[in-house]
C-alpha cells in the first residue's frame, strides 16, 4: 500500500505526476486490464451507481452514528467509516470477500471487521445501532432545517419523541431556520427531484439575465453530480466582467415580486486574502466558504414540481445564458430593499402559512455568488461531494503542500495562488486526472 507522502515541491511536473498517480494493485482481480486502485478518492472514479451499494450504505450508518455520538466535534471516527465507504463505492469489483480489500488504504481494522460480518450475513454493531431509539430520534430531528446534533440532543433530553412535539412547543429556537424548518418540515422532507431543480434553475437564469446580462447561472451540488434527488437546490453565479456586486439582493427582490420567496438570509462576502492561506475558519453561520450567498426557502409552483422527469444533460463549466425573449423591465424594479438580512417576519406565522391552502411547495435553496477569478474553484467546491472536497483538500495539503479552498489554490512556498480558467484547469493545477462531476460521488 502507499504510505503517506511527504509534501513535494512542484518543480518536476513529471516526477510529481508519477508520484501522485501511483496506484495500488487490486488483489484477487488479476486479468488482462489489470485494474488498479488509487490511494486518494480524488484520483478515482466514484459513480453514483456502483457494485457495492449495500456495504457503502451500511458503513455510512456507522459514519452517521459516530458523527452524532462524537462530542467535541471530533469527526475522525466518522470520517474513517466514510473513507472506507468511499473505497467500496469506487472499487472496481463487487466485494465478496474482505480479503479483497487487503492492502487498500482507508479500510481500517474496524471497517474491515464490519465488512467481514456483513458479508457473512450479520453485523451486530449495525444491527444494534439501527434499532436504537436515540439514533432514530437524532436522524429525525437533525433532518429539520437549522437543527444540528447539539439541538437534536437537547430536544431528546426534553423528552420529545416526534417532530410534532417540537412543532407544538412554545419554546423552540428563535433561529428563523428552525421555525420555518419545523413549519414546512413535510415539504422539505419530500426530496427535490432533478427535473424540478433544472426547471427552477431555468427560471432563475431567465430572471438573472434580465437583471445582469451575461450572468452565469450554474446548478451545482448533487444534481450536477447526476443525482436524481436531493435536499436542496444549489445555484452558483458569476459574471465574467466582475459586475456581480448587488446582484443577489436584486434577484431576491425580483423573486419576491414573483411570489417565490418564503424566507431566507442574505450574507455579504467575507472574503479577504488571508482566507486563501490561513486555516479555514468557518464563517459565523458555520458555512464553509466566504462567498456572498443567500440561504433560504423558496416557493416552487406545484406544476413545476410535478412535471415529467426529463433527463437534462449534465454540463461542465460556463454555460451560455438563454436568449432573452421577454422585454427587459426597467432596472428600477430591481432596486434591493435596504436590508442585509432577508428574514421571515411576515404578518402570518410560518405555521399559518404552511397549513393554508397553497399551490406551491417549499424548497430549500442556496444562491452563491463567486467572483469570476475564483469561479472554477467555487464550482468544484459547490459541486462536491462533501467527501470528494475533503479528499481533494487533504491531497492538496499532504501531497502538494498547497491549500485548496473554494476560493483558490494557494502555494505556501511562493505565496501565490494559481488561477484556473476552467474546471479542467483546476484538476490540472492539482496534477490530477479530470473527474467528471458524475464520478465525484464519494
Residue 386 site contact among Mg ion, ligand DCT, none (CB < 5 to 8 Å, cut-off depends on kind): ligand DCT
Residues 264-293, mask of contacts with ligand DCT (x by CB under 6 A): ------------------------x-----
Backbone dihedral region for residue 286 (phi beyond 0: left; psi -120 to 50: alpha; all else: beta):
left
Residue 230 contacts Mg ion per CB under 5 A: yes
Q: Does 230 bind ligand DCT (CB under 6 A)?
A: yes
Does 194 bind ligand DCT (CB under 6 A)? Our answer is: no
Q: Does residue 234 interact with ligand DCT by CB under 6 A?
A: yes
Per CB under 6 A, the list member of 271, 382, 395, 410 interacting with ligand DCT is: 382
Give the one entry of Mg ion, ligand DCT, none that residue 385 binds, where binding means its C-beta sits below a cut-off of 5 to 8 angstroms depending on kind: ligand DCT
Q: Least Å distance between CB 31 and ligand DCT? A: 34
| Total of chain residues touching Mg ion, rule CB under 5 A | 5
Reduced to 3 states (helix: H, G, I; strand: E, B; else coil), residue 175 is: coil
Longest dimension (CA), the chain: 69
d(CA 270, CA 367): 15
Q: Which three cell numbers stand for residue 72?
A: 467535541
Nearer to ligand DCT among residue 181 and residue 384 (C-beta): 384
**Binding partner at 139 among Mg ion, ligand DCT, none, C-beta below 5 to 8 Å by kind:** none
CA 221 to CA 386: how far, in whole Å?
9
Three-class SS of 290-339: CCEEEEEEEEEEHHHHCCCCCCCCCCCCCCCCCCCCCCCCCHHHHCCCCC
Which of 181, 221, 381, 408 binds Mg ion (CB under 5 A)? It is: 221
Q: Which of 39, 67, 209, 232 binds ligand DCT (CB under 6 A)?
A: 232
Q: Does 48 bind ligand DCT (CB under 6 A)?
A: no
- Helix residue ranges per DSSP H, 99-175: 109-120, 124-130, 133-142, 149-157, 163-168
Q: Is the dihedral of CA 334, 340, 342, 345 positive or negative?
A: negative
Instruction: Tell me how long the chain is.
Output: 442
Residue 385, preceding peptide bond in cis (omega within 30° of 0): yes
Is 304 one of the binding residues for ligand DCT (CB under 6 A)?
A: no
139 binds ligand DCT (CB under 6 A): no
Nearest-approach distance from CB 56 to ligand DCT, in angstroms: 15
Q: Is residue 376 a contact residue for ligand DCT (CB under 6 A)?
A: no
Identified binder of Mg ion from the candidate list 234, 267, 411, 423, rule CB under 5 A: 234
Nearest CA to 249 out of 285, 286, 293, 287 is that of: 293
Q: How far apart are CA 420 and CA 413, in angstroms?
A: 19
Q: How far is the CB of 236 from ligand DCT (least distance, A)?
A: 9
Question: Rounded to whole angstroms, how far apart are CA atoms 368 and 370?
Answer: 7
151 binding ligand DCT? (CB under 6 A): no
Could you list the residues that contact ligand DCT (CB under 6 A)? 221-222, 227, 230-232, 234, 288, 381-382, 384-386, 389
Amino acid at each position: 500500500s502507499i504510505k503517506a507522502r511527504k509534501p513535494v515541491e512542484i518543480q518536476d511536473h513529471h516526477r510529481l505526476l508519477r508520484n501522485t498517480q501511483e496506484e495500488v494493485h487490486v488483489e484477487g482481480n488479476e486479468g488482462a486490464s489489470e485494474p488498479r486502485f488509487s490511494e486518494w478518492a480524488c484520483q478515482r472514479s466514484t459513480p453514483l451507481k456502483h457494485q457495492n451499494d449495500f456495504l457503502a450504505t451500511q458503513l455510512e450508518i456507522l459514519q452517521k452514528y459516530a458523527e452524532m455520538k462524537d462530542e467535541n466535534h471530533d469527526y475522525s471516527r466518522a470520517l474513517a467509516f466514510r473513507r472506507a465507504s468511499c473505497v467500496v463505492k469506487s472499487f472496481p469489483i463487487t466485494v465478496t470477500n474482505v480479503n479483497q480489500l487487503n492492502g487498500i488504504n482507508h479500510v481500517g481494522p474496524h471497517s474491515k471487521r464490519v465488512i467481514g460480518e456483513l458479508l457473512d450475513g450479520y453485523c451486530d454493531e449495525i444491527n444494534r445501532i439501527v434499532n436504537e431509539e436515540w439514533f432514530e430520534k437524532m436522524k429525525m430531528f437533525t433532518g429539520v432545517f437549522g437543527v444540528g446534533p447539539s439541538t437534536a440532543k437537547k430536544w431528546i433530553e426534553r423528552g420529545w419523541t416526534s417532530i410534532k412535539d417540537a412543532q407544538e412547543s412554545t419554546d423552540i429556537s428563535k433561529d428563523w431556520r428552525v421555525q420555518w424548518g419545523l413549519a414546512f418540515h413535510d415539504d422539505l422532507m419530500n426530496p427535490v427531484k432533478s427535473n424540478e431543480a433544472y426547471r427552477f434553475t431555468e427560471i432563475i437564469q431567465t430572471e438573472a439575465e434580465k437583471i445582469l446580462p451575461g450572468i452565469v447561472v450554474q446548478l451545482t451540488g448533487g444534481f450536477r453530480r447526476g443525482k436524481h434527488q436531493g435536499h436542496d437546490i444549489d445555484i452558483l453565479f458569476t459574471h465574467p466582467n466582475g459586475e456581480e456586486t448587488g446582484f443577489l439582493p436584486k434577484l431576491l427582490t425580483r423573486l419576491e415580486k414573483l411570489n417565490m420567496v418564503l424566507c431566507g438570509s442574505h450574507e455579504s462576502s467575507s472574503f479577504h486574502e488571508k482566507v486563501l492561506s490561513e486555516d479555514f475558519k468557518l464563517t459565523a453561520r458555520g458555512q464553509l466558504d466566504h462567498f456572498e450567498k443567500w440561504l433560504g426557502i423558496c416557493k416552487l409552483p406545484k406544476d413545476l414540481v410535478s412535471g415529467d422527469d426529463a433527463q437534462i444533460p449534465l454540463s461542465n463549466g460556463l454555460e451560455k445564458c438563454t436568449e432573452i425573449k421577454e422585454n427587459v423591465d426597467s432596472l428600477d424594479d430591481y432596486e434591493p430593499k435596504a436590508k442585509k438580512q432577508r428574514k421571515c417576519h411576515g404578518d402570518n406565522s410560518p405555521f399559518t402559512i404552511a397549513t393554508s391552502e397553497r399551490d406551491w411547495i417549499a424548497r430549500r435553496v442556496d444562491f452563491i455568488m463567486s467572483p469570476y477569478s475564483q469561479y472554477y474553484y467555487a464550482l468544484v467546491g459547490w459541486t462536491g461531494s462533501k467527501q470528494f472536497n475533503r479528499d481533494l483538500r487533504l491531497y492538496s495539503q499532504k501531497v502538494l503542500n498547497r491549500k485548496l479552498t473554494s476560493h483558490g489554490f494557494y502555494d505556501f512556498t511562493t505565496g501565490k495562488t494559481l488561477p484556473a480558467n476552467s474546471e479542467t484547469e483546476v484538476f490540472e493545477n492539482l496534477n490530477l486526472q479530470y473527474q467528471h462531476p458524475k464520478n465525484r460521488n464519494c
